[in-house]
Amino acid sequence: MSVAAVKEYDFPPKDVRENFPAPLLYIGWEDHLLFCSPYCLPLPPDMPFGALATQVLPGIYSYHPDFAKIDWDRVEWFKSGRPWKPDPAKSLADNGLQHKDVIRFRTPGLTGIQGSYS
């Protein structure tokens, strides 16, 4: 259902980059519905992309039994729903990530607890 505003919005948005300690990045794990939506994290733009797998994602997803089985060399990344190949050595910013971007990753061969997508 679409929604139409009855009058023009005339106020500054509250979700601009300057209102957060670091740019927000949404990160989701495909085929693992135990995590129903992407996590939203404030991450420094100069953080190397490769640090996501070693420093950030374990704190979010490591309690899932599939996490320990991930072959990070085979992970498929998506940015705004499209296939994407980030450079792990480059920073988040140098990989083109900006405030409120959405990335997701798929782990081939891993589809949740006993293949249940959960």
Q: What is the pLDDT of residues 39-55, one digit of tens each?
A: 999 999 999 999 999 99
Q: How confident is the model at residue 13 (pLDDT cuts 50, 70, 90)?
A: confident
pLDDT surpassing 90 at residue 8: no
The residues, ordered by sequence, that sit 6+ positions from 35 with a Cβ below 8 Å of its Cβ are 28, 29, 60, 61, 64
The domain spans of the chain are 21-115
pLDDT surpassing 80 at residue 1: no
More confident residue, 46 or 8: 46
Beta-carbon-side half-sphere exposure of residue 23 (alpha carbons within 13 Å): 17
* Residue 45 and residue 23 in contact, taking contact as beta carbons nearer than 8 Å: yes
Structurally, at CATH architecture level, domain 21-115 sits in: Roll (3.10)
Mean pLDDT of 88-99: 97
> Alpha-carbon distance 42 to 40, whole Å?
7
Q: pTM (2 decimals)?
A: 0.87
